[in-house]
Amino acid sequence: MKPADAATLPAPGKTPTRRFDPRDLLASAGWMKWAAPIATPFVIWLLLPVFAIDQQAVITRATPFILTALAVALPARAGLINVGGEGQLLIGAAAAGAFAKFAGDGIPLIAMVPLMMLAGAIGGLLWSGIAATLKNAFAVNETISTLLLNYVATLFLGYLIHGALKDKESFGFAIGEQIPESARLPQFGETTVHFGILIAIAVTAGVWLLIERSRWGFKAQVVGGNPEAARRGGIPVGKTVMVALLLGGGIAGLAGAIELCGIETRLQTGMATGFGYIGFLCSWMVAHRAAWIPAGATLLAAISVYGDNLQIDLGLPASTVYILMAAIVLVVLAYRGSSTGKAISR
């Protein structure tokens, strides 16, 4: 053996060591791989009273976060960065509100809530369709287009609330019309928790199945991993990318409809501010793994509700919670490194 090589080889009798990775602990016990993502949100939730955080509020807050995080995670697995959850959510809420106002009469009671949800999902889907079209037809990077469309969506919601969707009985106030009683999401017993969490969990399971267990999910992962290999392998890259972004937008739009039917009951400016961005942080925190998103969303919802308390007690603005959330995500990003970022050394 040449001496030059000897320096790079480990000393005899020593196994090469690698850096400690907490995920090794999970990998060593097979069942924990399944149990951990399901148990973690419950553990966080049970610990909430220790920090004097309202448990019910955390569930209702985690609901939109789960969905907006899935709206980031699903396209991310196909190699897309969807930062448009914020706008897609608002447009979804506006679509549901418009449905209640213009088509809500005469719909059977049982169908009202599902149709509201559908309207929201379609609204979000169409909105993300703008970014998807810009990407496929004009090669516009989706990160930038979805970001800019958020500002457009906020203004567009303002336009609708001041115009077509304005409550005629509100006089000077620009505010949406109260949605009918039949369109409200029912609540669990005497609590303030609405059924949206069930929808969010069902969608989580659906996205997990789609990504991890379906043929389309496999194709999407290939596209995300190496588009050139996917193209040569006969996978329609453009179509896969388009579908992933549209589905993401649809999920975020659903979150908007849930917020409207479960919390807000009428469209207003400033509703759900930051929910899309928090979903983005949540998805990156858990590396876009759908199974872990409820855990991440519960943690961020706890921080968000705690932030509401701070806002009331200390007069700090709601955006203050971004400091803690962004810091967590930055630590995760720093620890994990990346597959898409170019390796820069020296």
Partner 1 sequence: MIVDVITGAVRYGACVVFAAEGETVSERSGVVNLGTEGSMLTGALAAFAVTVWTGSPVIGALAGLLGGALPALLHAFLVIDRNADQLATGLSVTFLGLGVTSALGTGFVDEKISGFDPIAIPLLSEIPFFGDVLFNYDILTYVALLLGPALWWFMKKTRWGLILRATGESGDVVYAYGHSPRKVRYMAVTAGGALAGLGGAQLVLASTLNWVENITVGRGFVAVALVIFASWLPIRAALGALLFGAAVSLQLQLQARGVNVSAFLLGMTPYVLTLVVLAIASRGQAQRMPAGLKAVFAPGGT
Binding residues with partner 1: total (CB under 8 A): 69
Interface segment toward partner 1; rule CB under 8 A; list 52-60, 147-155, 206-214, 258-266: 147-155
d(CA 247, CA 196): 19
Question: Which positions from 34 through 53 interact with partner 1, judged by CB under 8 A?
Answer: none
Taking the complex as a whole, how short is the minimal distance between the CB of residue 144 and partner 1, in angstroms?
5
User: Does residue 26 interact with partner 1 by CB under 8 A?
Assistant: no
Taking the complex as a whole, how short is the minimal distance between the CB of residue 63 and partner 1, in angstroms?
21
Count of C-beta atoms within a 10 Å radius of residue 229: 11
Residues 6 or more apart from 312 whose CB is under 8 A from it?
Answer: none
Taking the complex as a whole, how short is the minimal distance between the CB of residue 262 and partner 1, in angstroms?
25
> Among 145, 204, 268, 304, which residue interacts with partner 1 (rule: CB under 8 A)?
145
Q: Which residues of 180-202 are buried (b: 16+ CB within 10 A; e: fewer)?
A: beebbbeeeeeeebbbbbebbee
The alpha-helical segments, DSSP class H, found in the chain are: 3-6, 22-28, 30-47, 55-77, 85-102, 109-138, 142-162, 196-208, 215-225, 227-232, 237-259, 275-285, 293-314, 321-336
> Among 2, 139, 190, 312, which residue interacts with partner 1 (rule: CB under 8 A)?
139
CA 343 vs. chain centroid, Å, equals 28
d(CA 264, CA 272): 9
User: Does residue 73 interact with partner 1 by CB under 8 A?
Assistant: no
> Among 15, 17, 28, 338, which residue interacts with partner 1 (rule: CB under 8 A)?
338
> Among 191, 192, 214, 319, which residue interacts with partner 1 (rule: CB under 8 A)?
319
What 8-state DSSP symbol labels residue 179?
A: P
Question: Which positions from 216 through 255 interact with partner 1, judged by CB under 8 A?
Answer: 223-224, 227-228, 230-231, 237-238, 241
What 8-state DSSP symbol labels residue 166?
A: B
> Among 2, 14, 213, 342, which residue interacts with partner 1 (rule: CB under 8 A)?
342
300 residue type, one letter: L
Name the residues that contact partner 1, by CB under 8 A: 78-81, 83, 134-136, 138-145, 147-152, 155-156, 158-159, 162-163, 223-224, 227-228, 230-231, 237-238, 241, 277, 280-281, 284, 315-327, 329-330, 333-338, 340-346
